[in-house]
Amino acid sequence: MILTITLNPCIDKSSKVETFKPESKLRCEEVINEPGGGGINVSKALQKLGTASVALFPAGGHNGNMLCSLLREQGILFHAVNTEVETRENWVMLETSSNNQYRFTFPGREVKEETVKTLIDQIRSFAPTFVIASGSLPIGLPDYFYGLIVKNASSVGAKCIVDTSGAALQALKGKHVYLIKPNIGELCKMLNVDWLEKEDIPDAAQQAIQDGFSEIIVVSIGADGAWLVSNEKKYFVQAPSVEKKSTVGAGDSMVAGITYMLQKQRPLRDVIRFGVACGSAATMNEGTALFNKVDTEQLYNLISEQESK
């Protein structure tokens, strides 16, 4: 089974307004509430692909109760550890006159280390085959916490996928994660270099693999696509041209697509094709809606056809 872990979950709230004007009362449309946070988004995306998972996360307060309620409504299996502090929320606002999207990300309150350690210790009880840890760390937690997740996943023979950034990503050096998904800027920080040209990405990713970050690295380059690199393989997939409406959840959708194909034991070339298809499909929907499965399948077929020419 697939276990997703979100150490810093949230309620994603989205709405629309015609124009942003300072010092004015802005008439917004109805608010849409969605369960959010990296791993939770991955669980939502896996459900769209017809694959079950269990979402493991800390939660508390009114927003924590809402988060659990929303997941129940969507039929997503989960296990929440009570934090006794309010779960955070994020806002996404669309200015309809310009089609510009504004994203407001809030930090949330500090969660006790003991609470998160309790959550991580529970990984073993689920006996997962894949553990996906995605998102930022809550305020106050040391950078090494993702390393604890990797250690616990490895202890039950699970392959661990980590999608994070900043110091938490740097702390994974030598932890030998199964797969990580940095962007170019994050890969530069991992290798302590100022800049990488696109053509240098494969060799740089292999250097990071040799440094013990992971066995596989997927380097996202936004609208251009992504590289998948292992010690033996280097695959680039160009992202298809789509009408972009929102980038929220595109990275988590890519991780879900990658995991979906890995679980099916598909070749790595197909893994990255499907991951890019999921990420691109997610940008075609407004707000925090992630992707439509039909769009994903069409984009995957398009990518495969173009690469086979």
**Alpha-carbon distance 247 to 230, whole Å?**
27
Residues 134 and 252: beta-carbon distance below 8 Å:
yes
Query: Residue 188 in 3-state DSSP?
Result: helix
How many residues appear in the chain? 309
Partners of residue 225 on adjacent β-strands = 238
Query: Order of strands across the sheet with 32-36?
Result: 32-36, 10-17, 88-95, 100-105
Residue type for 21, please?
K
Residues 83 and 70: beta-carbon distance below 8 Å:
no
Residues 107 and 88: beta-carbon distance below 8 Å:
yes
**Alpha-carbon distance 45 to 51, whole Å?**
9
Query: Residue 105 in 3-state DSSP?
Result: strand
Phi-psi region of 287 (alpha: psi -120 to 50; beta: other; left: phi over 0): left
Kindly name the residue from 12, 163, 252, 295 that is annotated as catalytic: 252
β-pairing verdict for 159-163 and 177-180: parallel
On the 0-12 / 13-18 / 19+ scale of CB atoms within 10 A, 3 is buried
Sorted by sequence, the CB contacts under 8 Å of residue 300 that are 6+ apart come out as: 273, 274, 277
Q: Catalytic annotation on 143?
A: no
Sorted by sequence, the CB contacts under 8 Å of residue 102 that are 6+ apart come out as: 20, 92, 93, 94, 95
Q: Which residues are catalytic?
A: 252
